[in-house]
Amino acid sequence: MTRRQGLIAILWLWSAALFVLPLIIVLKISVAETRLGVPPYTAFFDAAHHVTANTENYSRLFTDSLYVKAYLGSLKTAFIATLIALLMGYPMAYAIARAPAHRRDLWLLLVMLPFWTSFLVRIYAWIGLLRPSGIINTVLQALGIIDAPLHMLNTNGAVYLGIVYTYLPFMVLPLYARLEKLDASLLEAARDLGATPWRAFCAVTLPLSMPGIVAGCLLVFIPAVGEFVIPELLGGPNTLMIGRVLWNEFFTNRDWPVASAVTAVLLILLVAPIVWVQRLQARGDLAP
Amino acid sequence: MSAGAPATLRVADVTKCFGAVTAVDAVSLDVRANEFLCLLGPSGCGKTTLLRMMAGFEAPDSGRVFIGDDDMTATPPHARPVNMMFQSYALFPHMSVEGNVAFGLKQEGLRGEALNARVKEALAVVELEGLGARKPHQLSGGQRQRVALARCLAKRPRVLLLDEPLAALDKHLRERTQRELTALRHRLGISFVVVTHDQDEAMAMADRVAVMDRGKILQIAPPRELYERPANRAVAAFFGDVNIWEGEVVAGNKVHCAALQIAFPVTDLLPVGSRVEAAVRPEQIAFTSIDALLTGVVSDVVYRGTASTYFVRHAGGAVIRVARQNSGPETFQRGDTVGLSWPTSAVRVLTS
């Protein structure tokens, strides 16, 4: 076995042990039935060695409107949050890429700085900022700008804030990597040929940074769809996201089969955009 | 403005500093109609900055830039009737050859048949018909250069600015492209301003060459004049090989050089006693056995194909460069004692 094959074998083992195997277990549970006991689901084969698998859990997902609403809610939340992150991240990445070389490292460090603190701690910090007796309300009231505390915590807005705040670096970094490589003389050429700064941006910078846009959007969108902690801690009672449903099925209802089915469908929802992007890349539409 | 043909582009007393460095220092320059002008100088002499100020990418700290009769000092690049070809060509990698050439025309609002006709015309000028659908990365270096040229020409600029247009091409292609550029300029009737660090390139292509050093124009003249009558030592040294000796003007309109221990006649009339530098091109010096101005020993010979350069060491220590065509039968070896002479007209007196 060559060195190269050895390295590839490690990769295969890694994904087999940590992705394929758990996935098979999840799929197996998703076609079982719930029962009281340990484990809390029926075996794949009954006493007579007959397969007990059925797709009842999946049909429940599509007949019970709760699940459909939760999926749509997650997709909508993730989509809007990704859009906001893109609109915020693009100017940031652009500014860093155009900054003098000795400043860039500092700006990039600042972008990544939040990662040095635990994610959970940072979300709790937002609770401290947003709650009715929190820092923002206290300051605004002390300044006489508002009379009563603003209701900010436990709203959909707080969920968007939390997701954008958490995943913004994942948008900025791939965009920066792309924009930094962009040859500045291309923009000058566009200007020279009669394009206004805005048209030069649209015709040159934007299409050439498209691979960075796609990568950044996937890196934000995918974890945002399955997000549980942020809607749980910052969201309100009407924040319906599939991550919360999943948690409830597992821990509150102890319905592992339905929870597994929810996971399986979520996985398909998330794999679809990745496959689509890879197709585009293979066709050469994205990489110029 | 100079007499005769009106200037297409005029730079008046332009200065540009980057931090503490003065890149362009109070430069004035006229580009005449249908002229091929070279900005020549070592890297960092300010030639590219000057070109970029003509295109509008750099704003001068002081001074003005006129295109035609209009003051365009404050006009942004997209509104100037000049186009620039970048050293890297700066072709848009995500657009086809046609897309690249059409880009500038679309900015003018051209669409449909009129647009296609102009694109075809520009590609025909650079002989790239049939490659319109290719992407830049599918082209050779020479073809990319032509696309960049076509992209500029399609805009029908009044002045075409070229930043080291031949630097990225191999030697063979460079010579061919030189001739094509000169031919193109005669055909199109527009002015060319070319930045280059290669004096051979400048001499081969230009009507006039502006020799730049440290942000200033040292001399601006046709190539022959620069070579034969350089204004100062830097210009003389920049154009080919030259022997330069310090000396003092003595009676009889001669210059006495201490290093050579001789006095030789010069054509220029100079006050006796003034200190000057005398320049003689290596190819103007001849080997001779009779009436030699001085004698020396051949210390080195560098063979260059059509000619050889002989380094002749004089008893006083000075080393004289002599260039000689390799067509004759006689050659000299290292160690040979030779006599040297040159015609009076070959001596150019430089004053600093």
Token pair listed for B215: 């942000």
pLDDT of residue B2: 42
CATH T-level assignment (fold) for domain A25-283: MetI-like fold (1.10.3720)
Give the helix/strand (H/E) hosting B220.
strand B216-221
Could B94 and A190 be called an inter-chain contact, meaning their C-beta atoms sit closer than 8 Å?
no
- Radius of gyration of the CA atoms of chain A, in A: 24
**Which residues in chain A touch residue B76, judged by CB atoms under 8 angstroms apart?**
191
CA-based nearest residue to B215, from B1, B7, B76, B13: B13
Q: How far is CA A119 from CA A81, A114, A123, A248, B175, in A?
A: 18, 8, 6, 22, 63
**Which residues in chain A touch residue B88, judged by CB atoms under 8 angstroms apart?**
183, 185
Helix B171-188 with B141-153: angle, nearest 10 deg: 20
- Which range among A66-75, A179-188, B146-155, B284-293 shows the weakest confidence by mean pLDDT? B284-293
| Domain residue limits, chain B | 7-237, 241-350
Per DSSP, the three-state class of B140 is: coil
Sign of the alpha-carbon dihedral angle for A206, A211, A214, A218: negative
pLDDT of residue A237: 85
Cβ proximity of B314 and B294 under 8 Å: yes
Token pair listed for B305: 């194909």
**Residue with more model confidence, A194 or A43:** A194
Q: Count of H helices and E strands in chain A?
A: 15, 0
Rounded distance, CA B205 to CA B189, Å?
15
* Residue A82's pLDDT band (cuts 50, 70, 90): very high
pLDDT of residue A283: 75
Residues of chain A whose C-beta is under 8 A from some C-beta in B?
Answer: 183, 185-186, 188-196, 199-200, 203-204, 207-208, 288
- Same topology, domains B7-237 and B241-350? Answer is no
- Radius of gyration of the CA atoms of chain B, in A: 25
Cβ proximity of B193 and B207 under 8 Å: no
What's the CATH number for B241-350?
2.40.50.140
Region A146-153: what's the mean pLDDT?
A: 90
pLDDT of residue A130: 94
pLDDT of residue B352: 58
Residues 6+ apart with CB under 8 A from B254: B263, B264, B265, B266
CATH class, range B7-237: alpha beta
CA-based nearest residue to B141, from B115, B110, B166: B166
Could A203 and B93 be called an inter-chain contact, meaning their C-beta atoms sit closer than 8 Å?
no
pLDDT of residue B7: 79
Sign of the alpha-carbon dihedral angle for A182, A184, A187, A189: negative
Q: What is the pLDDT along chain B (352 residues), one digit of tens a residue?
A: 344 556 799 999 999 999 999 999 999 999 999 999 999 998 889 999 999 999 999 999 999 999 998 999 999 999 999 999 999 999 999 999 999 999 999 999 999 999 999 999 999 999 899 999 999 999 999 999 999 999 999 999 999 999 999 988 888 888 888 888 888 888 888 999 999 998 888 998 999 999 999 999 999 999 999 988 888 888 888 887 889 988 888 887 888 888 888 888 888 778 888 888 889 999 999 998 888 888 999 999 998 888 899 999 988 888 999 998 888 766 788 889 999 999 988 898 887 5
Residues 6+ apart with CB under 8 A from A76: none
pLDDT of residue A225: 93
CB atoms within 10 A of CB B131: 17
Distance from CA of A206 to the nearest CA of B (A): 11
| pLDDT(A108) > 90 | yes
pLDDT of residue B210: 95
pLDDT of residue A179: 95
| pLDDT(A288) > 70 | no
Distance from CA of B298 to the nearest CA of A (A): 51
Token pair listed for B196: 């280059």
Q: CA nearest A286 in B: which residue? A: B94
The number of residues making up chain B comes to 352
| pLDDT(A201) > 70 | yes
Distance from CA of A205 to the nearest CA of B (A): 10
Could A192 and B55 be called an inter-chain contact, meaning their C-beta atoms sit closer than 8 Å?
yes
Q: What are phi and psi of A60, to 5 degrees?
A: -65, -35
Residue A41 DSSP symbol: B
The number of residues making up chain A comes to 288
**Which residues in chain A touch residue B151, judged by CB atoms under 8 angstroms apart?**
189, 193
Residues A179-184: contacts with CB within 8 Å, 24+ apart?
Answer: A179/A93, A179/A94, A179/A97, A179/A98, A179/A205, A179/A209, A179/A212, A180/A96, A180/A97, A180/A104, A182/A97, A182/A208, A182/A209, A183/B88, A183/B90
Rounded distance, CA A69 to CA A65, Å?
6
| pLDDT(A118) > 50 | yes
B109 - beta bridge partners? Answer: none
Q: How far is CA B198 from CA A230, B110, B181, in A?
A: 64, 38, 16
Q: What's chain A's average pLDDT?
A: 91
pLDDT of residue A170: 96
Number of CB pairs, chain A paired with chain B, less than 8 A apart: 61
| Domain residue limits, chain A | 25-283
